[in-house]
Structure 1
């Protein structure tokens, strides 16, 4: 740029280096974006914990509902499917089988449903502040994991105290890596759905319907062995990541056996694919979140 002076009639040329400048709100490179997510880890944890406290403060029973809701769901499924429809026939320790299925599937349902709305329900924050938007669905999933802690303790207690009593074995420790993988799976799916819902809010209504269909296809309250005469259905069931989660948990906690290694392989493959696809898919639209529509 050039600047003139009246006293000398000369021009002073100033050179400005604009190489380090970038457009405000521009999408960073994927590597830089992932690194920024790590730098916001304190915000993610704070947001998760504060929202748990805020949500529970509006209910008279507070955190007790974290435990009551899955118990009531399990009781309803037991009455309808176990007693009225008899889907538990032939399943050893059907009550524990049902408890594990209901509690763990509800964890994914809550995480994915809340994660899908994490951008659309925080539109004012997204418009007001500049930060990596992926922190919102990640924080939502961390919140659901923290809330699942007391629920998991109740699930374990119920399996131990409701006859027939189950013995604790070393395989119970497999619940730790299983929950870690399940949480990562929830994060990946939440990232995919969060972008879709952010641009098409009505899609959130379809997620609830899809989760119910998924529930019925995951052998939550019946045995997958009823499809033994249908190779196609058995293949679909074995490729279902939530069936894999439930089967691993049931074999470990209820039956004291090691699950088929194929269950771990399928679950890990789904989790890795969803994390990569979800992160890239979400990052591609980073600049568009918060736009007026």
Structure 2
């Protein structure tokens, strides 16, 4: 019994060495590489959140998902009335109705994605404060939701192009819409991450984003041809550097005119997308620990 008591006393006073290299403060921001890898672990949550919010949003209205198609059609009709008929911006534009449809539908996709994405943190503070997860999943899920919502809208756009005279013929260049939409979605995600960080810090800026997208609409040749401003070279250059103009020009050349867009449109769009993804992720990740704080 004496030996047992001594061994217990020695065990009680023994020094246990713990390797703290792998220990981290609770709630601490992970490294950027680890953070990006963790997003893949939450892929099921991203898809579930995207689909569930679509069902919830469309169940509020009597027409449900029909509004996904009606809204851009009504927008296009209003722009055609004002700019096409009253202001005559369609003069000299081949198949102006289809030209306008492509512009309105594709621009609306990006504007809706970045507007919703910018509010992805500020509109979900209860979830952010209650659970520990990479906050970027909320912004990505919002953009996936907008992509899924755009599916019926895209189908409607294609149908209108095919049936409204002069109806367009389907060519192999229509397949370019697949990589174009992929790049456009990545562009939306990058810009949404950047804006979500800003709006999470200064919520009032969300209102300026709506105003900014409206100005962006007028600067992206949605309802007029850029050739109208050939006499202003600096404006033409600025337009060619506008990523949304690049998206619309690539889509129009592929769907309407059966030609290849200027390779510089792809280069400019890819450059913007790459920069926004890198900068957006870094800026968003750098404030990971601050989201949900009381102000």
**CA distance in structure 2 between the partners assigned to 1:76 and 1:215 by the alignment:** 14
Distance apart, 1:6 and its partner CA: 11
1:250 and 2:252 are equivalent in the alignment: yes
Runs of at least 4 residues off by over 3 Å: 5-11
Distance apart, 1:20 and its partner CA: 2.4
1:134 and 2:136 are equivalent in the alignment: yes
Q: Which deviates the most, 250-259 or 17-26?
A: 17-26
User: Which residue number in structure 1 is paired with residue 167 of structure 2?
Assistant: 165
Q: Deviations over 1:75-133 (max 9, x none)?
A: 00000000011100110000000000000000000000000000000000000000000
User: Which residue number in structure 2 is paired with residue 66 of structure 1?
Assistant: 68
- Structure with greater proportional helix content: 2
Q: Deviations over 1:198-255 (max 9, x none)?
A: 0100000000000000000000000000111111001000000000000000000011
Distance apart, 1:165 and its partner CA: 1.0
**CA distance in structure 1 between the partners assigned to 2:183 and 2:131 by the alignment:** 31
1:239-278 maps to which residues of 2 (within 5 A)? 239-278=241-280
**CA distance in structure 2 between the partners assigned to 1:242 and 1:54 by the alignment:** 30
1:209 and 2:221 are equivalent in the alignment: no
Match of 1:26 among 21, 25, 28: 28
**CA distance in structure 1 between the partners assigned to 2:276 and 2:107 by the alignment:** 18
- What SS class does the counterpart of residue 59 from structure 1 fall into? coil
Distance apart, 1:8 and its partner CA: 8.7
**CA distance in structure 2 between the partners assigned to 1:287 and 1:50 by the alignment:** 27
1:94 and 2:96 are equivalent in the alignment: yes
1:175 and 2:206 are equivalent in the alignment: no
- What SS class does the counterpart of residue 19 from structure 1 fall into? helix
User: Which residue number in structure 2 is paired with residue 44 of structure 1?
Assistant: 46
User: Which residue number in structure 2 is paired with residue 15 of structure 1?
Assistant: 16
**CA distance in structure 2 between the partners assigned to 1:7 and 1:159 by the alignment:** 87
Match of 1:155 among 154, 157, 160: 157
User: Which residue number in structure 2 is paired with residue 122 of structure 1?
Assistant: 124
Distance apart, 1:7 and its partner CA: 11
**CA distance in structure 2 between the partners assigned to 1:118 and 1:248 by the alignment:** 29
1:99-118 maps to which residues of 2 (within 5 A)? 99-118=101-120
**CA distance in structure 1 between the partners assigned to 2:250 and 2:27 by the alignment:** 43
Q: Deviations over 1:110-157 (max 9, x none)?
A: 000000000000000000000000000100000000010000000000
List runs of 5+ in structure 2 lacking aligned partners: none
- What SS class does the counterpart of residue 259 from structure 2 fall into? coil
**CA distance in structure 1 between the partners assigned to 2:279 and 2:22 by the alignment:** 30
Q: Deviations over 1:44-101 (max 9, x none)?
A: 0010000000101111000000000000000000000000111001100000000000
List runs of 5+ in structure 1 lacking aligned partners: none
Distance apart, 1:15 and its partner CA: 1.7
Q: CA RMSD in A?
A: 1.4
The count of residues paired between Structure 1 and Structure 2 equals 289
